[in-house]
Structure formats: C-alpha cells, structure tokens
Structure 1
C-alpha cells in the first residue's frame, strides 16, 4: 500500500472532529428479535480536518500537505488528540501500561496493542504506527531499554526483543501512537472570502488498514 511515514500537522488536527466507526449488520426476525453481526474485526476512524483550520496560513499548510499526498493516493499519519496514548490522556506512558503478549520462551517479536475495557467486555486494537521515542517496554514488570534489549519498527508497530521472554512472562508496553489514514476526497473546495467569514472546508479523513 502507498503510505508516507509523515504526520499531518498536529496543530491542524487538534480542532478536528471524529472518532471510531463500526459496521453492524442487523436482521430483524419475524419474531421481533434481532440477529446482529459484523464483518469488521476492528473499528475504523473518520475525521474532518477542515474543522482544525483557523487562518489562511493553516489553509495553505493543508493544501500543501494535500498536494504532496496526491489527494487520496498516499496514506499518512494522523494524531487523534482524543486517543493517542497507551494510558489515560492525563498521564504519561509507562512500560507497564498494556499487556501485549505472554512469553513462550521462543517468540521474540510482538505487535503493539491497546485494550479497551468496559465491564467484562474488551477490545484489543492493533497499534501499527507508534511515535518515535515514546515506546517503553517491560518483561514481567522489569523495564527493558530500546536499542539495548529491544527494537521497535515504527512502520508496523512490531517490537522485537534481543532475548525471547520466558514462558508465561507478561510482555508489556507503553507508547504514543498515530492513526494510519488517507484523505477521503480528491478535492478541496474553499473560497477565501467564505473562509474569512468563518466557513471552513469539508476535508474528510478516513483510517486505512496497513
């Protein structure tokens, strides 16, 4: 897939609106009951980048980024300000934030995940675009050092340890992350006069699978 490892300007995404989207197929039975299923294992996020624009300079920055991505052609990184850490928004990531795997004594590479819990239900979200310099890791609560005990692939979110964690050892990680997205349009339509009057362009952004 065509993807540029560059982040959409974070100051422009700060005012954007959006969040996770699910797809649910619902069949109503003759009895009045419903059968519900989903073809998606993972949610997909949508945003409107136009809402983050506050000046003509912002608009120029958006157009430059749009042109460099060739519209919908190339994907890019997006900072979702409502959900970009392995921990609560008010905290800083720690190496024990998320249990990403159990050691088996042989496996060295693991994918970063973030688990969302509510009651007895939970959802494990793959994290494939961690932010450089933010990934922390531990094995059985003992912190490991990047470049010494492990390496992180920033393009895939796969963490590889120098030595395989022992059988049943908790492998944990903390991190900041971006969302892989693309523009969901090949056109930006805006007039300078309307923009000055407070009308911002509609610039849809959609998450992509990588």
Structure 2
C-alpha cells in the first residue's frame, strides 16, 4: 500500500455527504447505569464520493481516479468542504488561528493541529495533509514568514522553525488541509440509464491513519 499525494477532484467532492465518526463501547450495568469508553483517540471521517457526480463526464473522471488508485489499495487526499481550514469556512487562514504549542527555547518542530472546543471540552486533531502554500505562522503574537523563518512538510503536517520559539511564547498557525483517505470499496457499479435517471452510485471513502 502507498499513499498518493494527489487530491480527489474537488468538483466531485463538492456536494458529497460525510463527516466524522467515533467508536464508543457501551456496557449497561445491572443497575441500569452505563459505562462508556472509546479505543479511538481521534475520530475517523467517512464520505460518499458518488453524491458529487453531475454528469457522465464526472463519472468518467471518477472511474479514472479509482483505477489509478487500484481501488482500495492506495490512499489519496480528499477536500472536506465542510471542514478544510484552520478558521471558519467563510474566512481566510490567518497566522493566529490555532495555538499549536508553547515554545520552550529548544524545540523547532511542531505538529499542525486544529482544536474543536465546546464548553469546557477541547479536542485537538493532528493534521498531516496540508495544502501547499496556505500555511501562515506566528510566535508570541508576531507573524513569521515562510522560507526565512520556517518551513512546512505538507505530507506530514510538521512545521519547522529556523530558530526555536522562545520559552513561554505561543506558537500559532493558520492553514488549509486535506483528509488522507482511501476508497472503501473495490467495485463501482453504475449503468448509464440509472445515472441519467438520477440514481447515484454509492462510492464510500474512508479516512486512513498516516
């Protein structure tokens, strides 16, 4: 298995249905109370690539992409239109969007993350597939600049500063990102008649750990 650093056509992923999935194990006790636990530290996304098809040309593009990935064998990038930025969907990424770490005067490499907060709960999602040329970063409230102050590995989501951020300084970043996925089927079944009648094929796509 390999991961292909190529994005699924965005005109086909637009309009797809999908989102995060969690795994929760629930045990009901004899008293009626429940014990709930999860073996997953992070959620997993699922999508249906068939929902974005609008024409037979789209279907042909999808089949070509599917064959080039050998079905489920190779992973690829997917744009989740509902969650693809470090900021709100209506805004553009800014260097202060996400606090990714606190400087200690020694560490130069940091993983890009996105935080999801609701009330007192906070979940930090590590991001590994960053969109090239979208990262903006800052240290201690001041913007730093790509090339001279830091570099980014878009395949792993690791940002490396030329000089380690000073102790206690907030390390922040803004960016766009993709989801690493693979097809969750080795078969595409569709007929021209059913497609023209509005019946979309189901083509599941699932997030992979990389």
TM-score after normalising by structure 2:
0.99
- 2:185 — aligned with what? 185
User: 1:1-210 alignment to 2 at 5 Å?
Assistant: 2-210=2-210
Q: Give the whole-Å Cα distance in 2 for the aligned partners of 1:88 and 1:108.
A: 28
TM-score after normalising by structure 1:
0.99
State the Cα deviation string for residues 81-106 of structure 1 (Å, max 9, x = none): 00000001111100000000000000
- Root-mean-square deviation (CA), in Å? 0.5
Give 1:141 shift: 1.1
SS in 1 for 2:122: strand
Q: Give the whole-Å Cα distance in 2 for the aligned partners of 1:202 and 1:89.
A: 27
Aligned residues: 210
Runs of 4+ in structure 1 off by over 4 angstroms are none
Give 1:182 shift: 0.2
State the Cα deviation string for residues 32-80 of structure 1 (Å, max 9, x = none): 1000000000000000000000000000000000000000000000000
Task: Give the gaps of 5 or more residues in structure 1.
Answer: none
Task: Give the gaps of 5 or more residues in structure 2.
Answer: none
SS in 2 for 1:179: strand
